[in-house]
Structure 1
Amino acid sequence: MTKRGMVAAGAALVGGVPVAAWGLMGQQNYDGLPASELDYAFQPWDIGDGVAAVAGGLALVLAAAGAAVLVRGTLRGAMDGRWWGVLGPLVVLGLMLGVGWRILTAGGIGANIGAGLLIMLGTPVAAGLLLWALALALWLLVERRGHGSGGDMGGISSRGV
């Protein structure tokens, strides 16, 4: 498989997970009152539950196909296995985004405590996952470039020497 194919499969995996989580989880409103009488931290999108479930199911299939291509590429040597250290945190971040959006838009009576906790506790975790993925991706790109440009410097890129 080509590099473009691996990148496309990674994009399908990372992009499909938040949509799948959001769509398949469904709106998390308080039971017993109509939606017009509930309080919202953030107003949910005006998308029906059926449409969201179909979008979530399609995204799940897309993410599973992307994961299958990536696993196959890793086993065949077309993808360096260290890239899973980038993809894993991005998948967890996507799952947090999909579920988090449902928590933020849940209708309830009074304050949405889950939304406050998500913002206070989830934001630093999400930032950490994103920074980890970006730093590792950058390191993998620089480290790979360093191998083809000269002598072995013990794992340090020789481009700056």
Structure 2
Amino acid sequence: MRRHSVPFVLFPLTVATPVAAVWLIPDQTNEAARKLAADGVELDYGIEPVSFGPVADTVIGVVACAVVVICLALLASGTARRTIASAWWGVALSILAVGFFGGFCWRVWTAGGIGANIGAGFMVLMSPFCIGLGLLPGIVGAVFIRRARNQRLSSAAAPETAP
């Protein structure tokens, strides 16, 4: 893997991580609400859950998990062969953290209930802090990548001195 292709590996990781998280995290509707729904009571949703059917949901989830694993394997391969900087793992960890948090937020927001969904409000309040904390490894990784690039460019531009 060339270092120029890393963003092309990170983009599918960015898209697939929240989808995989939504598939891996079960429905957050509590048992009391499920019993009421079974009795015919209509549940309240912050956001209506999206489903393409059980088979399509499974296929989408498995493909998203496979994309995450393949992207991480490509990054690991590039790091092991020393063709990419290990600082890219900070960016990948940020993508994983924020994507997983986004998938978890989606599951909380789409949980059925009776009345207000307090968990959804809590997630809205906590999102800036959790996302900021999740972006921290990516920011640190980006600083190291940029610093290494600037050092490489400055050493290439420096004229050679003859002894």
Letter in 1 for 2:111: A
Whether 2:91 is the aligned partner of 1:77: answer no
Q: Percent sequence identity over matched residues?
A: 29
Q: CA deviation at 1:86?
A: 1.7
Question: Residues 9, 138 of structure 1: CA spacing in aligned structure 2 closer, same or farther, 3 A cutoff?
Answer: closer
Q: TM-score, normalised by structure 1?
A: 0.79
Structure 1 residue 122, shift from structure 2 partner = 2.8
The corresponding residue for 1:88 is: 93
1:28-67 maps to which residues of 2 (within 5 A)? Answer: 28-29=28-29, 30-32=33-35, 33=37, 37-67=42-72
Rounded to whole Å, the distance in 1 between the matches of 2:9 and 2:62 is 17
How many residue pairs match? The answer is: 150
| CA drift at 1:84 | 1.0
Over the aligned positions, Cα root-mean-square deviation in angstroms equals 2.4
Deviates more, 1:27-36 or 1:74-83: 27-36
Q: Which has the larger radius of gyration?
A: 2
Contact (CA 8 Å) 2:92, 2:138: kept in 1 or not? no
State the 1:142 CA deviation: 2.9
- Give 5+ residue unaligned stretches, structure 2: 156-163
Cα offset for 1:85? 1.4
**Structure with more contact order per residue of length (Cα contacts < 8 Å, sep ≥ 6):** 2
